[in-house]
Amino acid sequence: MSRTVAVVGAGWAGLACAVRAVHGGHAVTVFEAARTPGGRARRVDAEGGLALDNGQHILIGAYRATLELMRTVGVDPQQALLRAPLALRFPDGGGLAIPAGMKPPMDLLAGIAGARGWSWRDRYSLLRTALHWRARRFACAPEQTVAGLCAGLRPRVVDELIAPLCVSALNVPVARASGAVFLRVLRDALFSEPGGADLLLPRTDLGTLLPDAAMRWLSARGAAMRLGHRVQALQPDGEGWRVDGEHFDHVVLAAPAWESARLAHATGVADAAAWARTAEALAHEGIATVYLRGAPSWPGLPMLALRGGPAQFVFDRGRLGGPQGLAAFVVSACGEARDALEAQVIGQAREQLGWTGLAPVQTIVEKRATFACTPGLQRPGARVAPGLLACGDHIEGPYPATLEGAVRSALEAAALLD
Ligand SMILES: Cc1cc2nc3c(=O)[nH]c(=O)nc-3n(C[C@H](O)[C@H](O)[C@H](O)COP(=O)(O)OP(=O)(O)OC[C@H]3O[C@@H](n4cnc5c(N)ncnc54)[C@H](O)[C@@H]3O)c2cc1C
């Protein structure tokens, strides 16, 4: 039966939910506080007409729901994303790269055999540990950390493979990251389908990658898009809800955890208050992206892993749709202030890459980029109260805070509307 549905938030979850709800025949209104959609994965218009992102993003081949959503709204992933086999290469050529054209787990085995700079003991420790994880079906005790899981691995393997993978997927250092979630990501990326671990690097800004096309798709199908409208209050209204005074049969909260918790609390409904307490209890981690100009290009994948920090990765934006010489340095699990960070990253580029003469373009610090994906974490579910649902990367699900986690949770919430 067709219902009126309000979606609060036009991040990737809110947009995915709205698209799925329109498919389901519902009359959808999307409320978005900002003037641009996309939330934590959005375009940022910088000086001189330069399109940056609020943060450099990586997708992987296993992001099936996200890729399907892009196709639905008319974005061709093959054009919009640069696909390459997983490679964590350092500037000195060290590190692991998975060869193209092989099936899992043979591709990983070949990658381990060919890891540059690793001793046979390093390789053997990874092989033995990976087989052990597989024998246990990639499950572990909920309280296990990634560091605990990797106790049998040689330090080089942890430093050059596990730590960069963990911080880029979970945005938490190995000592505090959830072992169970990490194993699930590894299983889906590296051990499930061919190409699941492929890196998909956006060739466009993040607005063009999905939110702009999703907005056009939704508007063309009659959905009302209320940009610049920050929802202030939700109230129960018979069998439905009032959103800032306007009646809807269903409401889907697609704002970040803390904001959905604020709205849920203020309803005065007991179920919603209990839901809000779980959402509020989530801790968050920052990510900074330092954009510098004057960077040289390098051969191969336009992404390099870095040692020592503060940045863990650098991307050649000149080969990803941006102007030549623009580099994006990513500092995950970041707690530093902006100015200190910029200077440190310029120093890191000089020391590790030999790059001089770099000039700052913009540094964007997202203090609450992702929830802290720590062991035994309790996440809120999709049902908040009768007629009131929630979606977003923080909702209970298999993945850490990622685009795919956000999109999947949205599809699940939207299915509950039918
Ligand atoms: C710097 C950075 C780098 C990242 N890197 C990666 C990566 O490489 N790969 C990956 O998969 N993921 C990455 N992530 C995580 C990914 O961006 C998020 O998981 C995803 O964008 C979350 O989407 P969401 O829709 O759940 O929430 P959000 O994007 O937070 O969307 C919520 C929306 O609700 C709106 N809103 C809030 N309050 C209200 C209100 N009261 N009324 C109306 N609207 C409201 C907000 O403005 C926002 O647009 C990164 C995140 C950041 C910040």
**78 in helix, strand or coil?**
helix
Q: How many CA atoms lie within 13 A of 254 on its CB side?
A: 36
- Which pLDDT value is given to residue 105? 85
Exposure pattern of 110-125 as b/e (b: 16+ CB <10 Å)?
Answer: ebbeebeebeeebbeb
Q: What number does the ligand 1 atom closest to the CA of 262 have?
A: 41
Tell which residue, 261, 282, 283, 280, has the closest CA to residue 272: 261
- Which pLDDT value is given to residue 360? 96
| Residue 363 CB contacts under 8 Å (≥ 6 apart), including other chains | 288, 289, 290, 291, 338, 341, 342
**Cα 40 to middle of ligand 1, angstroms:** 3
- Which pLDDT value is given to residue 297? 95
Answer whether 170's CB lies under 8 Å from 85's CB: no
Query: What single string gives the DSSP state of each residue in 229-254?
Result: -----EEEETTEEEETTEEESEEEE-
Among protein residues, the one whose CA lies closest to atom 4 of ligand 1: 57
Two tokens, residue 372: 């802290």
- Which pLDDT value is given to residue 192? 87
Does any ligand 1 atom lie closer than 6 A to the CB of residue 402?
A: yes
Does any ligand 1 atom lie closer than 6 A to the CB of residue 12?
A: yes
Does any ligand 1 atom lie closer than 6 A to the CB of residue 41?
A: yes
Which residues of the chain have a pLDDT value below 50?
Answer: none
Does any ligand 1 atom lie closer than 6 A to the CB of residue 290?
A: no
**CA 417 – CA 316 distance, rounded (Å):** 42
**Cα 42 to middle of ligand 1, angstroms:** 8
- Mark residue 217 as left, alpha or beta (left: phi above 0; alpha: psi -120 to 50; beta: remaining): alpha
Answer whether 363's CB lies under 8 Å from 344's CB: no
Q: What number does the ligand 1 atom closest to the CA of 368 have?
A: 53
Does any ligand 1 atom lie closer than 6 A to the CB of residue 230?
A: yes
State the amino acid at position 297 in one-letter form.
Answer: S
Among protein residues, the one whose CA lies closest to atom 20 of ligand 1: 403
- Which pLDDT value is given to residue 134? 92
Q: What number does the ligand 1 atom closest to the CA of 38 have?
A: 49
The Cα-based distances of 366 to 53, 164, 284, 370, 377 in angstroms read 11, 19, 10, 9, 22
Answer whether 312's CB lies under 8 Å from 351's CB: no
Answer whether 8's CB lies under 8 Å from 263's CB: yes
Pairing state of beta strands 240-243 and 284-293?
A: unpaired
45-76: pLDDT as tens digits: 998 999 999 999 999 999 999 999 999 999 99
- Which pLDDT value is given to residue 225? 98
* Residue-range domains of the chain with CATH: 4-43+205-283+374-415 (3.50.50.60), 86-197 (no CATH), 284-371 (3.90.660.20)
Secondary structure of 149-174 in HEC code, one letter for each residue: HCCCCCHHHHHHHHHHHHHHHHCCCC
Tell which residue, 230, 227, 129, 134, has the closest CA to residue 184: 134
**CA 156 – CA 3 distance, rounded (Å):** 56
